[in-house]
Amino acid sequence: MRAVSFLFIALLALACNNDAADKKAEASDVAALPGAVTKITWLDSTKNMGKITEGEKVEIAFRFVNSGDKPLVIQSVGVSCGCTVAEKPGELFPPGKEGVIKAIFDSKGRLGANHKTVTVYANTEQPMHPLSFEVEVMPANK
C-alpha cells in the first residue's frame, strides 16, 4: 500500500512539473511564431513615487493590457541601475488580459532626485517599451 501511495505522489509531481515546462515552452513558441505580433497598452508607463527616506525600498507596478489579437509574451525586463530589480511575468497574456510589471527600488545610497528606467521587451509591433519612475530620497534622521 505504501509503495502504491509513493508511486501515485511521484506521478502527480511529475505531471505538475510537465505542466510548468509546457507553459514555458508555449510562451517561447508563441514568441517565435511568424505573425505572433500583438499590441500592448500601458495603463501606467510613468510613476512619481514621491519622497521616501534613505534605506527604504519601494515597489513600483506598471500595469498593461494586451490590446492586440494574439497572445502577449513579455520576453525580458531590464533595469537602468543595480538599485532596481524587476521581475518578468512568465505567463502568456491572451487578448484583453491585464498584467503587471513589478520593480523594487532600493534607496540605500541614493540621496536626492532619482529617475530610473525599466525596459520591457515583448512580441509587439514596437518590441521595446521604456517605462520610468521618479523618486526623491531624503536623508534618514539619526
Q: Residue 35 is placed in which grid cell?
A: 505573425
For the stretch 85-117, pLDDT in tens is 999 999 999 999 999 999 999 999 999 999 999
Q: Residue 67 is placed in which grid cell?
A: 490590446
**pLDDT value of position 33:** 56
By percentage, how much of the chain surpasses pLDDT 70? 75
Burial class from Cβ neighbours inside 10 Å (0-12, 13-18, 19+) for residue 102 reads middle
- Topology classification of domain 1-142: Immunoglobulin-like (2.60.40)
Least trusted range by pLDDT, from 3-17, 56-70, 73-87: 3-17
Q: Residue 71 is placed in which grid cell?
A: 497572445
Helix H or strand E segment including 20: helix 2-32
